Amino acid sequence: MARILRTGSFYLGLFLCSLFAIFPGIWMVISIFKKSSDLYSTGHNPFLYHPGPTLSHAIYLFTQTHFPTFVLNSAIIGGCVVGITILLAVPAAYALARLTGHWGERSGMVLFLVYLIPPSLLFLPMYQLVSFLGLANTIWGLAIVYPTITVPFCTWLLLGFFRSVPRELDEAAMIDGCSRFRAFLRIVLPLTLPGIAACIVFAFSLQLSDYIYAATFVTSSSAMTISFGVPTELIRGDVFFWQGLMAADAVVSIPLMLAYGLLFDKLVAGFQSAETAAAGG
Amino acid sequence: MNGGLRQLWASVADHDRRLGWVMLGPAIVYIVAFIGVPFVLAVLLSFSNATVGNPTIHHFVGLHNFIEVIHQPQFLTGLENSLLVTFVTLAVLLVLATIEVELLARPFRFKRLVQTLLILPWAMPVALAAIAWLWLLDSQFSPLDWIFRQIHVLGPGGIFGPSMHFYYLGRTGLALASIIALNVWRMLPLAVIIVLAGRLSIPQELFDQAEIDGAGLFRTLFRITIPALTPVLIVAVLFTGLLVFGDMAIVNLLTSGGPGNSTQVLPYWAFLQGINGGDLGAGAAVALFLLPVLLAVAVFALHFAYRSRED
């Protein structure tokens, strides 16, 4: 009896946690396909369709608004940010984990502190910097600024991954005649691919999540990202295109949810090794 | 060890250091140029009279900006709300994350599916999450209001009736509660992942021993799990707390600081002053108030995390 009660409360707990997490998402997905007459009536059950569902608002979003431009901008910026982040963070993390000695071993905390400097503290000088470079109101301004969020975080995360690779492996390769750099490329890098994959997902989603920099640098629709463009362009004064807004939300959020879901265990492992490294260093 | 071998080792060590700087260099240059320089500028800016129209720093005006912003009532409301929202969010997060981690630490069927559902709030970009909640909390068409009407909490004869709506974002208390709820919702998956990483590192023998000793569920939780989790709970607090404290998108999109200015927070007030108001100096002065709080939290939490590791 106690066992049944325990199992029951376990699954009830899981159900309630899941419901809390996805309830806004359920409402979001239901809303996409509602006809306006259905959406703006208060009488009946809002989770059902009366009359039936429609695709017209989702089609409107993709054909009559700037949403495709925002998606393209975010994808281009995302590609640049992921590229810059990996090129800077992977060598830096390896150098800190292996090559810079005692000083490098203590760098985890410093990187963490750099990551903690919030964009809301830096956005005004960043505006000056981007204006000075002539990149205000362009997607390139954002592409060059977003790695400030991703590089410290990804370096910190990768530090844990590199430290979990035994030093003996690269040393053995070097005894066999490899240079240090070759040992890094051939032996250590393949072993840290899961960490690099996690960094790619993180870098991409962190830049996708930014709102304040886009709101600061960008004013024209042609340079807007998803996060800034959707709330800015699809809400006009008091007029909300709710079905379109929810469709835009879902199109971006569901793939991200699946990617994060697949990486859930990897993320936990990443934090495990990062925490162990923090304790050791 | 003969001389030749020693020489070889020495040359490798020498090489290592050089290679280390080559590999580290680009990241350092980038971080100095795009975080270090703006960081210094953020301080200089708060002492200057720069505007959006004339963004270069020409004149320093001493403490003028700080004196000006402290005398704005919105600033004090913002400071108060920023602290309130952050502290309440963290308190709720700690409880919920500990519970959720205990659930996820066990094996069960469809675990992957449940994990995927649980991570949704954190996977969503913050602005899009705020839009989803804006619709969820709509003054007229909120499905929550409909549910509350069905269970006779709202509507004629309800506890909060006869009103048909809560107007979540239209009243100060409920609007702040909504901002806190959205923050908790959004940060819970991140907190869970950080704490779960720590939970899975606790040796299983500790739990087996507790079970042999006949310790119950709560005894095990408070005597073994929570003490062992303290360092990671602190890391989770640090991470999520600073993300909550520095965020302006949620308040901007959910309430715009309203009703009135009653849900204003520091980062959004800095944005309104600096960008919408065009006064970069005043905006930077407001934003600079984030710094001492952030530093204090970071130093305290990291210090505490390291100390409890050594014990």
Q: Which of B30, B99, B252 comes nearest A88 by C-beta?
A: B30
CB contact under 8 A, B20 and A104: yes
Domain residues of chain B, as ranges?
A: 72-310
CB contact under 8 A, A126 and B119: no
CB contact under 8 A, B274 and A261: no
Percent of all residues in chain A with a pLDDT value above 70, rounded to a whole number: 94
Q: Which of A84, A113, A253 comes nearest B123 by C-beta?
A: A253
Percent of all residues in chain A with a pLDDT value above 90, rounded to a whole number: 39
- pLDDT for res B90: 95
B13 and chain A in contact, CB less than 8 A: no
- pLDDT for res B310: 47
Question: Distance of CA A23 to CAs A29, A94, B133, B143, B181, Å?
Answer: 10, 42, 10, 10, 13
B26 and chain A in contact, CB less than 8 A: yes
Q: Return residues 155-194 of B near A (CB < 8 Å).
A: 164, 185, 188-189, 193-194
CB contact under 8 A, A231 and B56: no
Place of tokens 């909060």: B160
Please tell me the least confidently modeled range out of A97-106, A159-168, B27-36. Answer: A97-106
Which tokens belong to B137?
């909390």
- pLDDT for res B311: 43
- pLDDT for res A176: 83
Q: Catalogue the long-range contacts made by B181-185 (C-beta closer than 8 Å, 24 or more residues apart).
A: B182/B129, B182/B130, B182/B133, B182/B250, B182/B254, B183/B85, B183/B89, B183/B244, B183/B247, B183/B250, B184/B89, B184/B92, B184/B93, B184/B96, B185/A20, B185/A21, B185/A24, B185/B121, B185/B129, B185/B133
Report the C-alpha gap between A231 and A65 in whole angstroms: 12
B309: closest CA of chain A, how far (Å):
7
Q: Which chain B residues are Cβ-neighbours of A217 within 8 angstroms?
A: none
CB contact under 8 A, A180 and B15: yes
Superfamily of B72-310 according to CATH: MetI-like (1.10.3720.10)
- pLDDT for res A281: 40
Question: Distance of CA A48 to CAs A38, A55, A245, Å?
Answer: 9, 16, 19
B125: closest CA of chain A, how far (Å):
4
Domain residues of chain A, as ranges?
A: 61-280
CB contact under 8 A, B39 and A117: yes
Q: Which of A39, A89, A274 comes nearest B27 by C-beta?
A: A89
CATH topology of domain A61-280: MetI-like fold (1.10.3720)
CB contact under 8 A, A205 and B200: no
* Residue type (1 letter), B82: S
pLDDT tens-place values along chain B, 311 residues long: 566 765 654 454 457 777 888 888 899 999 999 999 999 998 888 888 888 777 777 778 888 888 888 898 999 999 999 999 999 999 999 999 999 999 999 888 889 999 999 999 999 999 999 999 999 998 888 889 888 888 888 877 777 777 888 888 888 999 999 999 999 999 999 999 989 988 988 888 888 888 888 888 788 888 888 888 888 888 888 888 888 999 999 999 999 887 888 999 999 999 999 888 888 888 989 998 888 877 876 777 667 656 554 44
- pLDDT for res B2: 60
Residues 6+ apart with CB under 8 A from A48: none
- Which site among A121, A179, A235, A249 would you substitute to test the B interface, given the most B Cβ atoms closer than 10 Å to its Cβ? A121
Please tell me the least confidently modeled range out of A152-156, A200-204, A269-273, B184-188. Answer: A269-273
Tens of pLDDT along A261-281?
988 887 787 777 666 655 544
Q: Which chain B residues are Cβ-neighbours of A253 within 8 angstroms?
A: 120, 123-125, 128, 132
ipTM for the assembly: 0.89
Tens of pLDDT along B68-91?
888 989 999 999 999 999 999 999
Q: What are the DSSP calls for B43-105, one per residue?
A: HHHHTB---SSS-S---B-TTHHHHHHHT-HHHHHHHHHHHHHHHHHHHHHHHHHHHHHHHHT
CB contact under 8 A, B126 and A208: no
pLDDT tier, A64 (very low <50, low <70, confident <90, very high otherwise): confident
pLDDT tier, A253 (very low <50, low <70, confident <90, very high otherwise): very high
Tens of pLDDT along B25-63?
899 999 999 999 999 998 888 888 888 777 777 778 888
A252 and chain B in contact, CB less than 8 A: yes
Q: Which chain A residues are Cβ-neighbours of B293 within 8 angstroms?
A: none
A193 and chain B in contact, CB less than 8 A: no
Question: Distance of CA B122 to CAs A20, A130, A257, B89, B127, Å?
Answer: 13, 29, 8, 15, 12
- pLDDT for res A233: 86
- Closest residue in B to A128 (Cα) is B55
- pLDDT for res B115: 94
- pLDDT for res A174: 81
